Amino acid sequence: MYCLVRGGALVWRFWVSEGFWPPAEVFSKGGNGGCGLVRRGHWPRLGPCLFVMNKPLLRVSEVACARGGLTVLEGISFDVHAGTALILRGPNGSGKTTLLRTLAGLQTAVAGEVSVADETIAYAGHADGLKGTLTVAENLSFWASLFGFGAITPALGAFELSGLADRAAQSLSAGQKRRLGLARMLVTGRPVWLLDEPTVSLDVSAVALFGEAVKRHLAGGGVAVIATHIDLGIEAEVLDLSAFRAVAPRGGAFDEAFI
């Protein structure tokens, strides 16, 4: 969230995506009384202003989450500040997917609180979310229109899909489908990205493309929470979920599938 400040007074709160800033002269991190990101510029009819990003964009406080009626994680707390990323680690079945789904609001937390502004999350799970009979461009246009975002050309270019724009999604390779699925994130205009094993099916060059997309998103003031064991080449905090694993109940079956 950005706060438009003029003469020490709050004028307007708003979200902004990379490339949609008003004309500005200075962009800096730190040294701003803990405000985070500050951009100095002009807003039409208001004159000189400061555009201040509040933080954190995502706060998790003592969260516990469950799968299949059983609590699998508990006591999780962290903040994700503007321009930063958090990498979730842990062995299979440690609860990475369950936590991401809880953060995304796809399931409720058993305990604790997830604090994030409305209409700010973009979630990419294991499925690519594509319509096979639509072309690459048509799929992206659908998601762009759903989120009220216009241009798809930057997203096509970021994942080297421009040459495939007119190809039906059903005829793409697994890696190409994954690149298209990830390109959806760029047309949401949302600052909080939640990604579950995003590099599955990607080759080395495509992983690099994704890493660069995340870097640009962070540079624009967004945040990312990513479940992955792959080095994405980005600066990020790492949270190992093994330390937050809930104790399984005794005397019953415990199904760890997809947690």
Q: Output the CA torsion sign for 196, 130, 115, 217.
A: positive
pLDDT at residue 40, as a whole number: 44
- Whether 123 and 194 have beta carbons less than 8 Å apart is answered as yes
Contact 148, 189 (CB under 8 A): yes
Neighbours of 154 (CB within 10 A): 15
**Range in 16-20, 58-62, 152-156 with the lowest mean pLDDT:** 16-20
Q: Which residues pair with 41 in a beta bridge?
A: 24, 49
% of the chain beyond a pLDDT of 90: 68
SS (H, E, C) the chain: CEEEEECCEEEEEECCCCCCCCCEEEEEECCCCCCCEEEEEEECCCEEEEEEECCCCEEEEEEEEEECCEEEEEEEEEEECCCCEEEEECCCCCCHHHHHHHHCCCCCCCEEEEEECCCCEEEECCCCCCCCCCEHHHHHHHHHHHCCCCCCHHHHHHCCCHHHCCCEHHHCCHHHHHHHHHHHHHCCCCCEEEEECCCCCCCHHHHHHHHHHHHHHHHCCCEEEEECCCCCCCCCEEEEHHHHECCCCCCCCCCCCCC
Whether the per-residue pLDDT at 176 is higher than 90: the answer is yes
Residue-level pLDDT at 148: 82
Rounded to the nearest integer, the mean pLDDT of the chain is 82
* Under 8 Å between Cβ of 117 and 1: yes
CA 43 to CA 22: how far, in whole Å?
6
- pTM for the structure as a whole: 0.77
For position 132, what pLDDT does the model report? 96
pLDDT digit string, tens, across residues 215-259 = 999 999 999 999 999 999 999 999 999 999 997 666 555 555 445
Give mean pLDDT, residues 65-89: 95
